[in-house]
Each structure stands twice: as structure tokens, then as C-alpha cells.
Amino acid sequence: MAAFELAREALAFLEHHRLPPSEVYRDLAARYLATPGSPLAREIDAAIDGGLRLTAADATRLVDLYCRDRSDDIRWREHRVAQQADALGSLAAEAHDVTRALGADLGTAQATPADTDAIVARLVQAERELADLRAELALLRDTIAGAVPRRDDGRDELTAALDQAGGERLLQEVALSGRSYVMVLFGIDALVGINARYGRSVGNNVLSAFAATLRQSFPDEELIRWSGNEFIVVMRDVALIMARARADEALRAFHARRLKLRGSGETIDPVTASVGIVVGRGDETTASLEQARLHLAAARDRVAADSAIMDRYSRDDVHEASPHRIGDPAG
């Protein structure tokens, strides 16, 4: 009965993370559930910390490390790429159908605003899943070809984002391209206070969680860790309103996460972040970064002012107060 229960829990785990119930993935889930505290379990816990989804690329890497005989590597990876290719084709067809339905519905007078909102939401979700799947497919193809991603001097060890040296190379490419871009500069609020209260290891976990959140919100852009708590995303040839929407989504997703201390399970007070946004073109990247910093500082000042107001309301026993702002995009 214990074995049956473990198998059911493993299938439920795979369903929750939207992974196919293949034999190797069932084995991965069963090992994770049966051996809490093991190296495999610690890696999975870190990957899904705060409610993140375990991706197919993550699962494949963990299977490689912990669950399989290395002799069947090529056969396994070829099978996974075939599965991903099929799923990519299905999702591309779904995105095409939703796009066509959106055009048809918007072209009729009978479409209500609620119908339009629902169609747009489906379209955005389908396109986002398509982008995620495309990235996973590219990673698996590189693995088969033996092109294992290597970490060079341009990568930050903690978050795997580009470090400042790598970021400078990317900004130089942007400057030489002459194309328009939107620079989005994020900063975690009060990270120094988190380090002082809980220790630097907890602060590092907060940084890793923030980087993971940004990757989910900006799956097609390279993430740069510019300084201790600052991250940059550069979006090329996009409208400012779209960049603002994506940045706001990232801030809300991060604010919604409930980060816990690993030892005691105590929940850390909600951690917030702020953002500064500027539009630039070509060789203006240095000036754009300085302007983004000014906008980020202004956003943090607004968050600090809101926090002070909330504290005053609390001291005066006022129970209805304006909601906490997450650092509104500025620029």
C-alpha cells in the first residue's frame, strides 16, 4: 500500500508541475518524495521555492544527475526532444488558432468586453507557454549535441545571470545595433535589512528567488545582475506600455511569494522590489542606465513613503489603509 500511495503522490506531483507521467519522471518524483533531505530533494526544493514550477529542462537535468544509468543518455535525450518537438507543434497550432479566433471575435459586434478579455488572456498564456517550450527545446537539443552550457567569467555564480562584465558586453551590443530598446532596472527593497536580520545566506536566497521570478516574466531576455541587488533587463523593439506591463507583473509575482526560513519554516516579511524604466536607442545605454537609476530611486522613495503611512495608520489603530505599493514603474 505504501508503494501505491507513493506512486499516486508522484503522479500528483508531475500533474502539479505539468510534467508528462513518463517512467523516468515518475521515478524522479518518487525519489524526491521518498527521500526528503537528500541532495535531489534539496535541489528540487530550491527550484520550486516560493511556488515556482519545475520545468522539463530542470527535471531532465535532475534525472541526468540522480536517477539514470548514463549508458542510455543519447536515447533518452532524443526521446525527450521528440516529445518537446511534438508539444511545440501543438502549442504553436493552439497559439495560431487562438490568434485567429481573437481576430474573428474582435471583428464582430456581438463580442462583449468580457469575451475579448478572456480571448486576450488565452492568447497571452499560449504565447508565453510557447516561448517557455521553445527555450526548453533549444536546451535539450544543445544537450544532445554535446553543447552543454558553460559558465564563464561573464556569469554571476549565485543567480547564473550575466554579471556586470557580461552585462557590459550585452549593452555594448545593444549600443552598436542602433535599435530602439527599453531598459528595465529592478532593485530589491531593504536587502541590507534582510541580511542584517536573517543573515547573508537568507539574503542570497532572496536574490536567487528574485532572479527566478524575473526569468519567468522575461523568458526571452537575458538577465543581468548589475550590482548587489540590482538586475537589468533590456527589451529591444518593444513598446513602453508592454515593458511596463511585464515589469509590473514581475513585481507583483515577487511580492506574492512567501519566502520561508529553511530551518524554522518562519515566513519572512513580504519582500518587495522597485523598478525604473527608460526608453533609449543605440549608443545611449550609459545615459539610459543613469536615468533608470534615478527612476528606481524615485520609485523606492514612494514605497518608503507608503510604508511610513501604513506604519502611522497602524499606530493610530486605523484598520482601513491604502494597499502597499510594490514600487510603481517610473519613467
pLDDT at position 249, please? 93
pLDDT at position 310, please? 45
C-alpha cell at position 163: 554579471
pLDDT at position 100, please? 64
pLDDT at position 97, please? 63
**In the block, residue with C-alpha cell 468580457:** 114
**In the block, residue with C-alpha cell 530589491:** 188
What pLDDT digit, counting tens, does each position of 106-139 carry?
565 565 666 666 766 666 666 666 666 666 666 5
Spatial strand order of the sheet with 180-188 comes to: 223-225, 230-236, 180-188, 273-281
| Average pLDDT, integer, range 266-287 | 84
| Average pLDDT, integer, range 90-101 | 62
Residue 233 has phi, psi (to 5 degrees) of: -125, 130
Please give the sequence-ordered ranges of beta strands (E in DSSP) within 140-252, or none if there are none: 180-188, 223-225, 230-236
pLDDT for residue 272 is more than 70: yes
pLDDT for residue 79 is more than 70: no
pLDDT for residue 185 is more than 90: yes
Give this prediction's pTM: 0.51
pLDDT for residue 143 is more than 60: no
Contacts of residue 103, Cβ cutoff 8 Å, sequence gap at least 6: none
Question: Percent helix, strand and coil across the chain, each rounded to 5?
Answer: 65, 10, 25
pLDDT band, residue 148 (cuts 50/70/90): very low
List the one residue out of 174, 293, 286, 150 whose CA is nearest residue 222.
174
